[in-house]
């Protein structure tokens, strides 16, 4: 730790959702980290789910899994990818978790005699939870960024806004900073950028007792000094602290764009901490490489949640990272495994350079995924199966190579004659759904002279899990006789990686490599998948 006390930066959002508050937060985090400060980020979500694990990815986007097994909001993935640093469960606070803790304390008798209320009990719990994240890997951080989910003015977020207001009073206004991210809409009929929604949203924030120090203005169109002056005047924020945030070719350019506007200096100045010019040269190099890439490959993602891009966010990003590393643009073609006919699937897979079957739950769309694995195997099209995708690869191999008629997973056919994917006895005893899967990073032991070993070039790796079902070890011998290689196992003998020795790249992994990939450090599995494709085409 460089600073004597931890400083806090609170990021709120106004006007509407989907402004990219997560990217703004992560970019500011990166600027500060690149100055040598120890940084951590917390995401506060106002929903009543205890964690994101029970939410449908189709509504809320992917469930991101932390190293220590937290099922969290996808913004934590953005933080990890920008900072190239692990986030832990403590980085995710939900209203559900806060209320659950308070109610448990009440039942234990911790508040005996008191009337338990939103203020102070819920707000105190929020503050305690925020403080917990100042300890990162047993060491205090210099700066903690706290992103408040939702939009200022929402009923749900009021206790959180109130908590951070109290927080600033307790730690001293000079030790914290409020950043408000808003939208400047463009009206084409009058060719104007409008600042009024921003003025109103700041007024709302002030009503709740918070005066922002910095305003980040998201806009699809560039705007002039005049608009900046107007925003400054109406919101009482210095002009240098009104920051432009226009759409950029890649989100990874945002930190560089903020640097150009000297946001780093403004933050240091307002927090009264030493400014050291952030070194973003490695990031800049990656972006420069990306900008001159001409070759393009197409990967089909065959899944169920294909209508909403955020459902596979980390996979999207991991493919992008691996693409830059191998100097190709990766175009993603989403294939709805439920709605696409077998003939169409055949046609699509014939045209793409690689196939990826991602994770998922439930039987809908399973046969389409199995067919895509079959075509990839038969036509030697590079294939990567992730979690459910690995299970699909196993089912297809069992049915069509090992002649195990109607082989299946117990998840999709509880009466199948050949349960090549089954459930461990411990899991069978689990009835509740929240947080009960095999979760988080676990050690994987790799077998030498396999594709997996050549990918990781070491004997032990840690990757993150989120699943209930496992490859059934009874079927290992018959799979091996038919050419499947089992190249990675967990410490207690669970199958982690399978690879088809007949194919250039047909690999299935029971874990989620996409959760450990950043632009500076692409995940080896994705890297090798893309590399093989570039070598073939």
Which residues of the chain form contacts with ligand GLN (CB under 6 A)?
Answer: 359-361, 387-388, 411, 466-469
Buried b (16+ CB within 10 A) or exposed e, 409-434: bbbbbeebebbbbbbeeeeeeeeeee
Q: In DSSP terms, which residues pair with 445 in a beta bridge?
A: 460, 489
From CA 520, how far away is CA 302, in angstroms rounded? 27
Min dist. Cβ of residue 470 to ligand GLN (A): 7
Closer by beta carbon to ligand GLN, 329 or else 363:
363
Closer by beta carbon to ligand GLN, 159 or else 360:
360
Min dist. Cβ of residue 418 to ligand GLN (A): 17
Min dist. Cβ of residue 193 to ligand GLN (A): 43
From CA 271, how far away is CA 266, in angstroms rounded? 9
CB-CB contact of 262 with 269 (8 Å): no
Closest C-alpha among 2, 10, 3, 1 to residue 41: 10
Based on the residue annotation, tell me whether 512 is a catalytic residue of this protein: yes
CB-CB contact of 144 with 130 (8 Å): yes
Q: Identify each DSSP E strand in 122-265 by its residue range.
A: 135-136, 139-140, 143-148, 176-183, 186-187, 192-193, 214-219, 242-246
From CA 481, how far away is CA 478, in angstroms rounded? 5
Tokens of residue 4, six digits = 């004597």
Rg (CA), the chain: 25
From CA 322, how far away is CA 75, in angstroms rounded? 20
List alpha helices for 34-157, DSSP H. 57-60, 75-83, 95-108, 123-132
Task: Mention every residue, 6+ apart, whose C-beta is less than 8 A from residue 458.
Answer: 446
Is the peptide bond prior to 206 cis by the omega test (within 30 degrees of 0)?
A: no
Q: Identify each DSSP E strand in 203-266 by its residue range.
A: 214-219, 242-246
Task: Mention every residue, 6+ apart, whose C-beta is less than 8 A from residue 504.
Answer: 380, 382, 532, 536
Closer by beta carbon to ligand GLN, 237 or else 398:
398
Based on the residue annotation, tell me whether 275 is a catalytic residue of this protein: no
Min dist. Cβ of residue 388 to ligand GLN (A): 3
CB-CB contact of 318 with 325 (8 Å): no
Min dist. Cβ of residue 436 to ligand GLN (A): 11
In residues, how long is the chain? 537
CB-CB contact of 452 with 507 (8 Å): yes
Closer by beta carbon to ligand GLN, 230 or else 466:
466
Percent helix, strand, coil in the chain, to 5, is 40, 25, 35
Min dist. Cβ of residue 512 to ligand GLN (A): 7
Closer by beta carbon to ligand GLN, 251 or else 335:
335
Min dist. Cβ of residue 226 to ligand GLN (A): 51
Closer by beta carbon to ligand GLN, 7 or else 467:
467
Closer by beta carbon to ligand GLN, 290 or else 312:
312
User: What three-state secondary structure class fits 61?
Assistant: coil
Closer by beta carbon to ligand GLN, 121 or else 438:
438
Comparing every residue's Cβ against ligand GLN, the nearest one is: 359
Min dist. Cβ of residue 504 to ligand GLN (A): 24
CA angle, residues 512, 516, 520, in degrees to nearest 5? 145
Residue whose tokens read 């897979």 = 349
From the centroid of its chain, how far is CA 478? 37
From CA 526, how far away is CA 315, in angstroms rounded? 9
> Annotated catalytic residue: which of 62, 125, 325, 514?
514
Closer by beta carbon to ligand GLN, 56 or else 236:
56
Closer by beta carbon to ligand GLN, 280 or else 410:
410
> Annotated catalytic residue: which of 180, 418, 465, 512?
512
CA angle, residues 465, 466, 469, in degrees to nearest 5? 105
Min dist. Cβ of residue 456 to ligand GLN (A): 21
Min dist. Cβ of residue 387 to ligand GLN (A): 3
> Annotated catalytic residue: which of 268, 387, 418, 463?
387
Based on the residue annotation, tell me whether 514 is a catalytic residue of this protein: yes
Catalytic center residues: 387, 512, 514
């Amino acid at each position: 730790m460089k600073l004597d006390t931890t400083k806090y930066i609170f990021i709120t959002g106004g006007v509407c959702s989907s402004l990219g508050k997560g990217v703004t937060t992560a970019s500011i985090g990166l600027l500060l980290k690149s100055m040598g400060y120890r940084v951590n980020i917390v995401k506060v979500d106002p929903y009543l789910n205890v964690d994101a694990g029970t939410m449908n990815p189709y509504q809320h986007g992917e469930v991101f899994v932390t190293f220590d097994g937290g099922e969290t909001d996808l913004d934590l993935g953005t933080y990890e990818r920008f900072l190239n640093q692990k986030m832990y469960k403590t980085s995710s606070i939900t209203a559900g978790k806060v209320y659950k803790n308070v109610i448990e304390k009440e039942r234990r008798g911790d508040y005996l005699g008191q009337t338990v209320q939103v203020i102070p009990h819920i707000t105190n719990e929020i503050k305690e939870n925020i403080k917990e994240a100042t300890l990162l890997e047993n060491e205090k951080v210099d700066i903690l960024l706290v992103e408040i989910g939702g939009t200022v003015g929402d009923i749900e977020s009021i206790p959180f806004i109130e908590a951070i207001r109290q927080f600033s009073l307790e730690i001293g206004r000079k030790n914290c900073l409020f950043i408000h991210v808003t939208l400047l809409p463009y009206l084409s009929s009058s060719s104007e950028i409008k600042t009024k929604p921003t003025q109103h949203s700041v007024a709302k924030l002030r009503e709740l007792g918070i005066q922002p120090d910095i305003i980040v203005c998201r806009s699809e169109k560039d705007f002039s000094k005049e608009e900046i002056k107007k925003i400054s005047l109406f919101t009482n924020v210095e002009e240098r602290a009104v920051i432009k945030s226009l759409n950029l070719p890649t989100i990874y350019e945002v930190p560089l764009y903020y640097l150009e506007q000297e946001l780093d200096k403004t933050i240091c100045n307002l927090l009264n901490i030493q400014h050291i010019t952030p070194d973003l040269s490695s990031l800049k190099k990656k972006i420069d490489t990306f900008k001159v890439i001409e070759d393009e490959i197409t990967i089909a993602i065959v899944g169920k949640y294909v209508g909403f891009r955020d459902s596979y966010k980390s996979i999207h990003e991991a493919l992008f990272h691996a693409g830059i590393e191998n100097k190709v643009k990766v175009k993603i073609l989403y294939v709805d495994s439920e709605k696409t006919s077998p003939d169409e699937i055949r046609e699509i897979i014939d045209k793409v350079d690689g196939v990826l079957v991602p994770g998922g739950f439930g039987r809908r769309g399973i046969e389409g995924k199995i067919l895509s694995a079959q075509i990839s195997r038969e036509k030697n099209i590079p294939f990567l199966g992730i979690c459910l995708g690995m299970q699909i690869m196993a089912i297809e191999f069992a049915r069509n190579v090992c002649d195990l008629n109607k082989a299946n997973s117990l998840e999709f056919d509880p009466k199948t004659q050949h349960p090549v994917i089954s459930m461990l006895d411990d899991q069978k005893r689990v009835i509740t759904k929240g947080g009960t899967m095999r979760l988080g990073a676990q050690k994987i032991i790799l077998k030498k002279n396999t594709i997996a070993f050549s990918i990781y070039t070491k004997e032990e790796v840690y990757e993150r899990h989120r699943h209930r079902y496992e490859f059934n070890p009874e079927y290992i011998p018959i799979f091996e006789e038919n050419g499947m290689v089992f190249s990675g196992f967990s410490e207690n003998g669970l199958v982690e990686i399978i690879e088809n020795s007949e194919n250039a790249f047909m690999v299935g992994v029971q874990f989620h490599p996409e959760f450990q990939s950043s632009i500076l450090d692409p995940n080896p599995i994705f890297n090798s998948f893309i590399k093989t494709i570039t070598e073939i085409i």
